[in-house]
Chain A
């Protein structure tokens, strides 16, 4: 009665996604008061690892048929069709657009360098920072910044929801004035902290795609 395949056990454990984050994602789709058995959470966690590698492998194949060595976002999006998860694409496209927009923003602002993992806590000298930047390149830097954001989000998930509600009216003053009831903008716009009206559209789009899933 061992629920997990023993052969893949250790490898999957090494690559397992953090339990707490997976748990929170699960709770988001379940009604309040519902629970998830420990074994069920573990099964879902392991499934998630497999899904990631399944998608990666499909994306890799597509990129090689396109004669590229680097897996590009378009390959991932095409791979979703390939592995029969086309319902994810529209939301992922919205994420991609937001990510690219955020990247542009960052490059226009102060190009603050986030250090290598080992030196994350002990800040480096400014000269060393510059060397790091040139040796690792822009891509690596973005990744680390992204990671920091993810960690912050993991800790302040509940807090940020409330903050966004407060911030919302000031972030979109045009919209707040344009639409009579502020409640309307709250309902569609509250999870966005980029504050662009463009991403508001994506978000409501995303909600449309999510809701049938939840009710079915």
Chain B
């Protein structure tokens, strides 16, 4: 979306915290953390957009939980989330 390049709107400290949870990671350059952060932003928007498309199909203007869950169920790209949605 429209955001300044080379910057993220997510708090980088929080993203780094998530990265540090991974025990296989020794260290991570700041540029890498930035990329993970921006990718996560894009992911949020992708998931939101696809959820909204499902809501729209049912003539709703709001995203509901089941829309998100349906996206995860139907789209292979989101398969890694299936545990979260107990599918």
Chain A contacts for B63, CB-based, 8 A: 26, 30, 34-37, 40
Considering only CB atoms, which chain A residue lies closest to B72 in the complex? Answer: A47
A101 lies within 8 A of B6 (CB): yes
| B29-65 to A contact mask, C-beta < 8 Å, 1/0 | 1111111111111111111110111010000011111
Contact B19 A36 (CB under 8 A): no
User: Which secondary structure dominates where chain B touches chain A?
Assistant: helix
What is the CB-to-nearest-CB distance from B62 to chain A, in angstroms, rounded to a whole number?
Answer: 4
CB <8 Å contact, A56 and B22: yes
Find A46's partner among B13, B26, B34, B84 (CB 8 Å cutoff). B84
Question: CB of A66 within 8 A of chain B?
Answer: no
Given B28, B48, B51, B85, which contacts A71 in the complex, CB threshold below 8 Å? B28
Report the Cα distance A80→B86, complex, angstroms.
Answer: 25
Closest to A157 in B: B9
Find out whether the CB atom of A17 lies under 8 angstroms from the CB atom of B21. Answer: no
Residues of A within 8 A of B4 (CB): 98, 153, 191-194
The segment from A107-115, A123-131, A142-150, A166-174 that touches chain B is A142-150
Q: Please tell me if the beta carbons of B21 and A15 are within 8 angstroms of each other in the complex.
A: yes
Q: Given known contacts A60-B22, A71-B27, A71-B28, is B62 in contact with A36 (CB within 8 Å)?
A: yes
Docked complex Cα distance between A212 and B71 (Å): 18
Residue-wise, chain A 197-216 has the 8 Å CB interface mask toward B (1 for contact) of 00100110011001001101
Size category of the B interface is: 35 or more
Residues on A with C-beta less than 8 A from B26 are 69-70
CA–CA, A12 to B36, complex, Å? 17
The answer, among A45, A80, A94, for a CB contact under 8 Å with B39, is: A80
Q: Is the beta-carbon distance between A29 and B1 smaller than 8 angstroms?
A: yes
B19: chain A residues at CB < 8 Å are 52-53, 56, 71
User: Among the interface residues B17, B18, B78, which one has the most CB atoms of the partner chain A within 10 A?
Assistant: B18
Q: Which of B3, B41, B48, B69 contacts A191 (CB 8 A)?
A: B3
Known contacts A25-B9, A36-B48, A75-B32; 5 additional CB pairs below 8 A are: A21-B11, A44-B68, A55-B40, A96-B6, A153-B7
